[in-house]
């Protein structure tokens, strides 16, 4: 990607500001962690993922969006440069003092948005999409983990339609960022079957299809459906988020299932994640997955001690491959959630990785005890 040179960006923003209303939106994620081996020797890591977008409203119907991003990087065991992950583990973290910890901003896309009506927006330029994202905190990064389709980008044409009453949808078509011989199409629509003050039910099917001789991935299409239900009472609230996804691998389908129930009563909260993928046993499991594990179970009871502080205790069970014995592990930890203001979260966490003596192929590597903090904000 081309570098987004800051003096040029400032000059461009100043020029646009003379003729348009300017807004800046962003998502900022950062973390720090220390991972201790059996000798209690720490390895320290720090990561960040920052996305910024400049919105210039040229008139009441036309807007221009210029996007930029910066991401910490690390060199993996194969000697390849990879983007690190915020709030994940030692295996995909940038070591403190590493050259990849601080990187410059890169140009990340441009959009022309035309609001044809209150219910139709046409988009020309760069679009990014995903479907079936996780609420589970280690797998929130949609560019790496999803039940239906991981984050993909294209340059072309798009349309976003609908409203809160009848639902919202999107259609994107254009040249994929994966290779220069790939055409991508994405289609999704969220149907609000129930839309009451105290009860909501949304069903959202999605389809991602790519065309070309060299598509840069082992599957040509992905389809699936998300179901999101919530019910509220005076003191008791609960919700269920469920996803099914299907993509082919060497002629056979890989089915992925996600169930994430949650509830709240007074100051008590309970959230859980169960994920399972049905794969073809004739081939390796890892290439068929869009996650790290074939099966995951995680549960976290928590208590709202204060309106700005929640204390949670989490348990996780991971099994990367059901056909391989001895590769599973468990993690037990505590999370201190701080909410300084709206759209801002700081988490102080620590926990222990329960795994076999010879199993270091986990997100925590050789580390057993680990602690750290992470922060995220949207504006």
Give buried/exposed letters for 329-355 (b at 16+ CB in 10 A, else e).
Answer: bebebebbbeeeeeeebbbebebebeb
Is residue 13 very low, low, confident or very high in pLDDT (cuts 50, 70, 90)?
A: low
Structure confidence at residue 115 (pLDDT): 98
- Pairing between β-strand 120-131 and β-strand 329-338 as defined by DSSP bridges: unpaired
Tokens coding 259? 């169930």
Residue ranges of the domains in the chain?
Answer: 40-110, 118-292, 308-378
Contact 129, 158 (CB under 8 A): no
Residues 188-216: tens digit of each pLDDT: 999 999 999 999 999 999 999 999 988 88
What is the SS3 assignment for 197?
Answer: coil
Contact 37, 75 (CB under 8 A): no
Structure confidence at residue 19 (pLDDT): 57
Closest CA to 93 of 379, 377, 370: 370
Is residue 227 very low, low, confident or very high in pLDDT (cuts 50, 70, 90)?
A: very high
Residues 301-353: tens digit of each pLDDT: 999 999 999 999 999 999 999 988 888 999 999 999 999 999 999 999 999 98
Closest CA to 173 of 121, 113, 125: 125
Structure confidence at residue 346 (pLDDT): 98
The C-alpha atoms of residue 205 and residue 291 are separated, in whole angstroms, by 20
Contact 184, 216 (CB under 8 A): no
- For the chain, how far is it from start to end, CA to CA, in angstroms? 25
Q: How far is CA 326 from CA 36, 279, 283, 298, 329, in A?
A: 22, 19, 19, 19, 8
E-only strand ranges, the chain: 21-36, 42-57, 62-71, 73-75, 81-83, 106-115, 120-131, 149-163, 167-176, 183-195, 199-211, 221-232, 236-249, 252-265, 268-278, 295-306, 309-319, 329-338, 344-354, 369-378
All residues at 6 or more sequence positions from 113 whose CB lies less than 8 Å from its CB, including other chains: 62, 63, 64, 65, 121, 122, 123
Structure confidence at residue 354 (pLDDT): 87
Residue 243 sits at the vertex; the CA angle it makes with 242 and 247, to the nearest 5 degrees, is 165
Structure confidence at residue 9 (pLDDT): 52
Name the CATH topology of 308-378: Outer membrane efflux proteins (OEP) (2.20.200)
Average pLDDT over residues 72-85: 87
Residues 359-378: tens digit of each pLDDT: 667 777 777 899 999 999 99
Structure confidence at residue 218 (pLDDT): 86
Residues 92-138: tens digit of each pLDDT: 899 888 888 898 899 999 999 999 999 999 999 999 999 999 999 88
Structure confidence at residue 327 (pLDDT): 87
Structure confidence at residue 35 (pLDDT): 93
The C-alpha atoms of residue 296 and residue 136 are separated, in whole angstroms, by 10
Structure confidence at residue 14 (pLDDT): 53
Tokens coding 235? 């003191």
What is the SS3 assignment for 293?
Answer: coil
Is residue 87 very low, low, confident or very high in pLDDT (cuts 50, 70, 90)?
A: confident
Measured from the Cβ of residue 314, the count of other Cβ atoms closer than 10 Å reads 20
Q: How far is CA 161 from CA 116, 122, 156, 187, 215, in A?
A: 10, 9, 17, 11, 28
β-strand partners of 187: 171, 207
Whole-prediction pTM value? 0.90
- Res 37 pLDDT > 90: no
Average pLDDT over residues 242-267: 96
Is residue 358 very low, low, confident or very high in pLDDT (cuts 50, 70, 90)?
A: low
- Helix intervals (H) in the chain: 6-17
Structure confidence at residue 363 (pLDDT): 76
Mean predicted lDDT score pLDDT of the chain: 91
Structure confidence at residue 71 (pLDDT): 93
Residues 127-175: tens digit of each pLDDT: 999 999 999 988 999 999 999 999 999 999 999 999 988 999 999 999 9
Is residue 3 very low, low, confident or very high in pLDDT (cuts 50, 70, 90)?
A: very low
The C-alpha atoms of residue 333 and residue 330 are separated, in whole angstroms, by 10
């Amino acid at each position: 990607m081309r570098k987004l040179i800051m003096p040029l960006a400032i000059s461009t923003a100043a020029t646009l500001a003379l003729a348009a209303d300017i807004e800046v939106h962003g998502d900022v994620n950062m973390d720090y962690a220390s991972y201790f081996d059996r000798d209690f020797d720490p390895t320290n890591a720090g990561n960040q993922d920052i996305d910024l977008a400049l919105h210039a409203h040229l008139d009441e119907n036309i807007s221009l969006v210029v996007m930029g991003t910066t991401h910490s990087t690390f060199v993996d065991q194969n000697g390849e440069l990879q983007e690190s992950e915020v709030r994940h583990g030692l295996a995909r973290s940038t070591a403190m003092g590493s050259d990849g910890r601080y990187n410059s901003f890169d140009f990340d896309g441009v959009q022309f948005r035309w609001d044809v009506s209150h219910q139709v927006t046409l988009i020309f330029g760069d679009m990014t999409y995903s479907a079936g994202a996780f609420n589970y905190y280690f797998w929130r990064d949609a560019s790496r983990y999803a039940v239906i389709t991981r984050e993909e980008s294209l340059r072309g044409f798009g349309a976003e339609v609908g409203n809160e009453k009848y639902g919202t949808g999107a259609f994107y078509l254009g040249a994929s960022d994966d290779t220069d011989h790939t055409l991508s199409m994405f289609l999704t629509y969220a149907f609000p079957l129930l839309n009451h003050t105290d009860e909501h039910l949304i069903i959202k099917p999605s389809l991602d299809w790519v065309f070309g001789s060299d598509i840069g991935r082992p599957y040509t299409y992905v389809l699936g459906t998300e179901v999101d239900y919530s019910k509220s009472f005076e003191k008791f609230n609960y919700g269920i988020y469920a996803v099914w996804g299907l993509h082919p691998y060497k002629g056979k389908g890989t089915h992925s299932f996600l169930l994430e129930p949650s509830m709240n009563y007074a100051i008590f909260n309970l959230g859980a994640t169960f994920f399972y993928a049905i794969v073809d046993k004739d081939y390796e499991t890892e290439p068929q997955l869009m996650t790290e594990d074939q099966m995951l179970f995680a549960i976290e009871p928590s208590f709202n001690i204060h309106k700005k502080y929640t204390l949670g205790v989490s348990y996780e069970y991971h099994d990367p491959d059901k056909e391989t014995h001895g590769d599973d592990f468990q993690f037990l930890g505590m999370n201190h959630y701080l909410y300084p203001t709206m759209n801002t979260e700081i988490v102080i966490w620590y926990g222990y990785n329960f795994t076999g003596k010879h199993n270091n192929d986990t997100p925590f590597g050789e580390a057993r005890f680990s602690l750290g903090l992470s922060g995220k904000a949207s504006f």
